[in-house]
Copies of this chain bind each other. A is one copy, B any other.
Amino acid sequence: MKKVVLLGGGNVAYHLAKQLMRSQKYQLIQLYNRSLLSSHFQEIITEKTTHLEALLPADIYILSVKDEAIAALCEQLPFEGQLVVHTSGSVPMEALSPRQRRGVFYPLQSFSKAQAVDFAKVPFCLETEEASDYALLEDLAKEFSPKSYAIDSLQRQYLHVAAVFLNNFTNHLWYLSEQLCTREGIPFELLCPLLEETYLKGQQLSFFEGQTGPAKRGDRAVIEKHLALLQGIEKDIYKDISTSILNTYGK
């Protein structure tokens, strides 16, 4: 069995460790954290340490710590030439120390603290400095999910931006929509069927074809009416997204 050491005590580290416990091909031989691990790590049965000098020899070291801590932690590792990967979506592979064989092992998903993680649905984005390490990382990813992709550091940055548009910004538009209703005394439940339809249509049609609304039709009279009802940053958002739709459809 290949040996894995996991460094980190957060949410991602916990879920990765839990899944590794089930692996037949990879053994989680050690968990490192700079301070004592929180109590839910008790179910992870493996050697635990808070001392970097005590790190055991392994095939892969996974650094699953906060973005800001990755570089410094890697710098302090008491060995050289090992396969060391981080799990971050926004930190370049080059943030890792060049004394190691560097890589990235990034599960693309918005981890909520409370929610359980079904890794089977999570795509893994992989990158290795040395081509010969890629197969090993790909094989490890298979223990978590059937889907893995070779994504380099620049692509990973764009992927993160794309995820922000898709997830974070979408959720905020829904919040703004709800706020508009609340302010005007309109029950938001009125819009729930439309939200469902938006999502289902997105699954069936291309986003390009599925677009509807005043900006898609080039209906500037309605756009002006709507802008007159809005203020501040909501008005700016309405104006910009409408402009982008008008541009997209050449109106």
A64 to B154, CA, bound (A): 52
B149, B195, B244: the one contacting A166 at CB < 8 Å is: B195
Contact of A201 among B112, B165, B193 (CB under 8 A): B112
**Residues of B contacting A186 in the complex (Cβ-Cβ under 8 angstroms):** 149, 151, 155, 158-159, 162
Q: Across the interface, do A166 and B177 meet the contact criterion of CB distance under 8 Å?
A: yes
| Contact in complex: B194, A177 (CB < 8 Å) | no
B181 near A173: Cβ-Cβ < 8 Å: no
With A90-B225, A190-B149 as given contacts, are A170 and B198 in contact (CB-CB < 8 Å)? yes
Asked whether any CB of chain B lies closer than 8 Å to the CB of A178, the reply is: yes
Interface size class of A (residues with CB under 8 A): 35 or more
Write out the residue numbers on chain B whose beta carbons fall within 8 Å of the beta carbon of A187. Answer: 149
Which residues of chain A in 164-205 are interfacial with respect to chain B, using CB atoms and an 8 Å cutoff? Answer: 164-178, 180-181, 183-187, 189-191, 193-199, 201-202
Q: Are A181 and B158 in contact (CB under 8 A)?
A: yes
CA distance A213 to B165 in the complex (A): 10
Contact with B along A33-65 (1 / 0, CB 8 A): 000000000000000000000000000000000
A108 CB–B CB distance under 8 Å: yes
Q: Is A230 an interface residue (CB 8 A)?
A: yes
Instruction: Please indicate the chain B residues that have their CB under 8 angstroms from the CB of A184 in the complex.
Output: 154-155, 158-159
The reply on A109 being an interface residue by CB < 8 A is yes
A109–B240 CB distance below 8 A: no
The 10 closest A-B pairs by CB, nearest first: A168-B213, A175-B207, A165-B177, A166-B177, A158-B184, A162-B180, A162-B177, A199-B199, A233-B244, A167-B198
Instruction: Using CB atoms and an 8 Å cutoff, list the residues of chain A in contact with chain B.
Output: 90, 108-110, 112, 121-123, 125, 147, 149, 151, 154-155, 157-178, 180-181, 183-187, 189-191, 193-199, 201-202, 207-208, 210-216, 222, 225-226, 229-230, 233-234, 236-238, 240-241, 243-245, 247-248
